[in-house]
Amino acid sequence: MNRYALALGGAGLLLSVSVLAATAQVKAPITPPDPPKFDAQGKIDYVGVNDILEFKALPEYHEPDWVTKNFVATGKLPAVKDRLPKEPMVYKKSNTVDGIGVYGDTMRHVIGGRPEGWNYTAGQSQGWGGIDIGLSECLTRTGPLFQIKVDELQPLPNLAKSWEWSEDGHTLTMHLVEGAKWSDGVPFTTADAMFYWNDNVNDPNVTPLNGATPASFGEGTTLKADGDYTLIWTFKEAFPKQYLYQMAYGTFCPGPAHILKPQHPKYSKNTYEQYKNAFPPEYLNIPVMGAWVPVEYRPDDIIVMRRNPYYWKVDEAGNQLPYLNELHYKLSTWADRDVQAVAGSGDFANLEQPEGFVEALKRSASADAPARLEFGPRIIGYSLYPNLSANGWGEPDERGQAVRELNRNEHFRKAITSAVDRKRLGESLVKGPFTTIYPGGIYSGTTYYDKDSTAYYPFDLEGAKAELALAGLKDTDGDGIVNFPAGTAGGKNVEVTLLVNADYQTDKSLADGIVAMMEPLGIRVLLNQVEGKQRDALAQGGQFDWMVLRNQEELTSVVQKTVNLAPVGPKTSWFHRAGKDGQLDLLPFETEIVDVVNKFITTPDATEKKELMKQFQKLYTDNVYGIGLTQYPGALIINKRFANIPKGVPINLFNWAEDSIIRERVFVPADKQGKYELFPETLPGAPGGKEGPAKG
C-alpha cells in the first residue's frame, strides 16, 4: 500500500531505488518486554481510611511549653483548646511507626525552584519541593493513599471532614471542619472555598497554580455554600466519585479569602497581573491552613517556616501538631538536594535524577551514613509531548503552525517514536538495573497497566524514515534535514523547538538525547532550555512545538489528576488545549480517548475502570499520543533522626512524598534533636509583616 500512499501523498515521481527504500513502513508495534526486575524496598502496611484518622473532641490538648509560657500566659494567644476546632483531626497512634511524638527540631529541605510569590490561588509557584504542600491544605488528601487497601481506596477527608451523596448521585454535600482557623486566627469557612471557586477557578483570567478549571470537576458542575460549614456540589453525572481526587492537592486548596479577596480585580482597582503579584516572596506570614507559615525569605538563600499556632490536627494524646517547630527551604539546586540529604546537611530528598543514583547509593551504604535511602517502584518517567493544538493555542508563527500540523500526522509521530532508542537513552542517564524502556501511557508496574494493551514501537531508524516520507517530508536540498513540502513554511528545513526544564540535569540529558536521535532521522531539534518557572509558564501558555516532561500522578495512580489524561476540558491536557475561541480541535482517536477518560471518571465499577484503562492504553500507544522515553524508580532519602516515616513511601504515586509521609506527624526523638531552629521559641507574626516572626 505504501507505494500508493506515497504517490497520493504528492511525492511525485521518484527514482525506483528511492521508491523501494521508501516502501518500507515502520515495523509493526510489539508488546513491550517485561522490565528488568527491580525490587522496591520497604513493605507497606496496608490499612483502611479510618485506621489513619478521625475527627473528634479529646478531653485535653497540649502544645509546646514555650507556646503556653510565651504566648498564652502573656495573653498573646488564646488557649490551645480555643485555637482548635470543636472536633480536630486526630491521627491514630496505631497507624504510626513510632507512636506519639515530641516537639522540637526542624526539617531542612533543599529546593531547586525559586518562589514567585505566595499567591498560589492565582498561579504563583513557591519553588516546589513540598513548600506549597506544607502551606496549603485541601478539601481532601491523597498523598497518604499509597497505604490504603485497594478495595477501600478513596481520598482521605481533610478540610472536608465528611460528605454524603444524594440518592440520585447528582448532589454531594460536604461538611467542613467546624471552627478550624487560618494561621492568623481568622475562621476558615465556606467563604474561602467559594472565593476560590467563583473568583479564581471560574474566572477565566485566573489560572490557579496546578491548573484547576471548571472542567477539572466536570462539565456543568456547580458549587454553593449552605452556611459557614456546608458545601453543596451538583454534578451532571451520577456519583462521579472520581472528583473527590480533584479536591485534593493541588486543585482544591483554597487560599485565605480575607487576604486575597481585597486584591482581586472584582473587588479592587487591581489588574489581574497586580492581583497575581500582590504577595511577593517578601510578604511574610501569609495566613495558611498548613502546619507551617513562611516567616523569613532571603533571596537565593532560604525560606524559613514556623509552626502554625492554629493548626487543626492533633495526635491521640491531644498534642497539637506539627511536632516539628520549623521547616527550612534552602534555595539551591535539585541535584544539591540529593547531595545534601546524603551528606546530612539537608534532611530530605526525592532521589529522582538517575545521574546521581550510583553516588548516592554508595554514600548511603555505610552504617554510619546520616540518611537512609529506600528505593520504590519504577514510577518516575519522562515523555516527549508534541503540541497537538492547531487552533492557535500559544499563537505559533508559520513554522510553528506547520510543526503542529505535522505533530497531528500519525506517520510523523510514528517516525519520531521509532527513531528513539530508549535503551540507549536510559543508559545515558545511569547504567544498571534502574531505567527501562517506556512506550508511553500508563507505567508498567502500576495498578492500571496492561501489557497486552500496550503498543511498543522499537527502535527502527529505517522504518522511521519511511514513516517520515509517508508524512510527506523529504530532504529537497540534500543537507540531511527533511524539508517542509513546497508551499508550507517556505519549504524550509524542518526545525522543531524542544521545551526543556533547565532546573533538572535529567531533563537536559534526555533533551540532548532527543536532539542526537532526531538528527539521523533528518529532523533538527533546537533546545529551548529555560528555568523551571519559565518552563511552566511556556508550557501553560502553549508556547512549544515539543516538550520533554516528567510525568505526573495521572500516569502513576491514574485516579489522581485523571482529567489531565486527555483534553476532557479546554485546559486539562498538557499538550492539547483550546485556542482563544475556547474550542479544541481533537483528532478522531482523541475523541475516543476523551470518551474513555470521561467514562472512567464517572463509573463506580472497579472492573469497568480496569477495562477502560486498557482501552485508554491501547488508543494512547497505538496512536503514539505522547512519546514515552524512559521510566525508573526513585528513592526517598531521609535523615535517620526522623521518626514516624511510614514504611515503603513511594516518592510520587498519588502525590509527592512531602505529602505522603504526613510531615505534621513526623518527629525527632528528644535525644536525637539537632540545634537547627533559626527562630527558636517564636511564632509567625502579622500577615505581610516583614519584621520576621513575633518574638516570644
Q: Which residues here bind ligand GLA, judged by CB under 6 A?
A: 128-130, 334, 350, 352, 656, 658
Distance between CA atoms of residues 89 and 150, nearest Å: 24
Report the alpha-carbon distance of residue 547 to residue 615 in Å, rounded.
25
Among 178, 427, 450, 475, binds Ca ion (CB under 5 A): 475
Cβ proximity to ligand GLA: between 316 and 352 the closer is 352
CA atoms within 13 A on the CB side of 654: 25
Shortest Cβ distance from residue 131 to ligand GLA (Å)?
Answer: 8
Q: How far is CA 104 from CA 84, 107, 297, 423, 670, in A?
A: 20, 10, 21, 47, 8
495 touching Ca ion, by CB under 5 A: no
Binding partner selected for residue 479 from ligand GLA, Ca ion, none, CB under the kind-specific 5 to 8 Å limit: Ca ion
Question: d(Cα 609, Cα 600) in Å, to the nearest integer?
Answer: 5
Residue 475 binds: one of ligand GLA, Ca ion, none (C-beta under 5 to 8 A by kind): Ca ion
The partner in contact with residue 483, picked from ligand GLA, Ca ion, none with C-beta cut-offs of 5 to 8 angstroms by kind, is Ca ion
Selection from ligand GLA, Ca ion, none that 462 binds (CB < 5 to 8 A by kind) is none
From the list ligand GLA, Ca ion, none, partner contacted by residue 654 (C-beta under 5 to 8 A by kind):
none
Among 82, 301, 479, 531, binds Ca ion (CB under 5 A): 479
List residues bridging with 90 in a β-sheet.
54, 314
Point out which span in 78-86, 145-153, 235-243, 481-489 binds Ca ion (CB under 5 A). 481-489
Q: By C-beta, is 428 or 493 nearer to Ca ion?
A: 493
CB of 639 to ligand GLA, least distance (A): 16
Q: Which three cell numbers stand for residue 430?
A: 545511569
Q: Quick one: cell of 73? A: 500566659
What is the distance of C-alpha 418 from the center of its chain?
28
Say if residue 317 is exposed, middle or buried (CB neighbours under 10 Å; 0-12, 13-18, 19+): middle
- Which C-beta is closer to ligand GLA: that of 258 or that of 535? 535
Q: Which CB, 103 or 654, lies closer to ligand GLA?
A: 654
What span, in angstroms and rounded, lies between the C-alpha atoms of 495 and 499?
Answer: 13
Report the alpha-carbon distance of residue 342 to residue 355 in Å, rounded.
Answer: 15
Tell me if 481 contacts Ca ion by CB under 5 A: yes
Per DSSP bridges, beta strands 230-234 and 292-298 are unpaired
Nearer to ligand GLA, 258 or 533 (CB): 533
334's contact among Ca ion, ligand GLA, none, with CB below 5 to 8 A by partner kind, is: ligand GLA
Q: Distance of CA 507 to CAs 195, 354, 368, 420, Å?
A: 37, 11, 33, 16
82, 282, 477, 691: which one binds Ca ion (CB under 5 A): 477
What sign has the CA pseudo-torsion 506, 510, 513, 519?
negative
Rounded Cα–Cα distance for residues 292 and 475 (Å):
59
Pick between residue 444 and residue 483 the one whose CB is nearest to Ca ion.
483
* Cα–Cα separations (whole angstroms), residue 182 to 142, 176, 189, 671, 692: 21, 14, 10, 33, 18
Per partner kind, with CB cut-offs from 5 to 8 A, the member of Ca ion, ligand GLA, none near residue 352 is ligand GLA
Residue 346 beta carbon to ligand GLA: minimum distance, rounded to whole angstroms: 12
Closest to Ca ion by CB, 125 or 493: 493
Q: How far apart are CA 206 and CA 203, in angstroms?
A: 6
**DSSP-assigned letter for residue 516:** H
- Total residues contacting Ca ion by CB under 5 A comes to 6
By the 8 A CB rule, do 511 and 527 touch? yes
Q: Of these partners, Ca ion, ligand GLA, none, which one is at the site of residue 63 (CB under 5 to 8 Å by kind)?
A: none
Judged by beta carbon distances under 5 to 8 A according to partner kind, the member of ligand GLA, Ca ion, none in contact with residue 642 is none
Q: State how far the Cα of 660 lies from the Cα of 647, in Å rounded to an integer.
A: 11
Residues 649-668 touching Ca ion, rule: CB under 5 A, are: none
Alpha carbon distance 569, 215 (integer Å): 5
Q: Which is nearer to ligand GLA, 205 or 505 (CB)?
A: 505
Q: Which is nearer to Ca ion, 475 or 585 (CB)?
A: 475
CB of 651 to ligand GLA, least distance (A): 7
Nearest residue (CB) to Ca ion, 482 versus 629: 482
CA 253 to chain centre: 14
Instruction: Work out whether 65 is an interface residue with Ca ion (CB under 5 A).
Output: no
Measured from the Cβ of residue 247, the count of other Cβ atoms closer than 10 Å reads 27
Region of 347-355, 476-484, 529-537, 610-618 interacting with Ca ion (CB under 5 A): 476-484
Establish if 488 lies at the interface with Ca ion (CB under 5 A): no
> CA-CA distance, 433 to 453, in Å (whole number)?
25
Report the C-alpha gap between 230 and 306 in whole angstroms. Answer: 30
Residue 520 touches Ca ion, criterion: CB under 5 A: no
Look at residue 493 and give the partner it binds from Ca ion, ligand GLA, none, a contact being a CB closer than 5 to 8 Å depending on partner kind.
Ca ion
**Crossing angle of the two packed helices 588-602 and 606-622, in degrees rounded to 10:** 160
Of 218 and 472, the one with the shorter C-beta distance to Ca ion is: 472
- State yes or no: residue 483 binds Ca ion (CB under 5 A): yes
Q: Does 490 bind Ca ion (CB under 5 A)?
A: no
* Contact partner at residue 477 from Ca ion, ligand GLA, none, CB < 5 to 8 Å by partner kind: Ca ion
Q: Is 39 exposed, middle or buried (0-12, 13-18, 19+ CB in 10 A)?
A: exposed
What grid cell was written down for 607? 472492573
| Contacted by 574, from Ca ion, ligand GLA, none: CB < 5 to 8 Å by type | none
Q: Please, what is the minimum distance in Å from the beta carbon of residue 249 to ligand GLA?
A: 9
Omega of the bond prior to 250 within 30 degrees of 0, cis? yes
Which CB atom, from 107 or from 470, has the smaller least distance to Ca ion? 470
Q: Is 491 an interacting residue with respect to Ca ion (CB under 5 A)?
A: no
Which does residue 394 bind out of ligand GLA, Ca ion, none, counting CB within 5 to 8 angstroms by kind?
none
User: For binding to Ca ion (CB under 5 A), which residues are involved?
Assistant: 475, 477, 479, 481, 483, 493
